[in-house]
Amino acid sequence: MVIARRSVLVLPPIPGALGFATNAMGLSFFRFYVSDSL
């Protein structure tokens, strides 16, 4: 889980709708990881 989170954070920003979708997925995954670890 930590490796996946790091890879998501390390991903460079992608312009366009694809970047927006990727950022949204990363944020949702990060929130899920934090809420699950609490």
Three-state SS for 2?
helix
pLDDT at 3: 53
Mean pLDDT by 10 residues, the chain (38 residues): 55 64 78 71
Proportion of the chain in helix, strand, coil states, percent, rounded to 5 = 80, 0, 20
pLDDT at 10: 57
pLDDT at 12: 60
Nearby residues of 29 by Cβ (< 8 Å), 6 or more positions away = 4, 5, 8
pLDDT at 2: 56
pTM above 0.75, yes or no: no
Residue 17 backbone phi and psi in degrees, to 5 = -65, -35
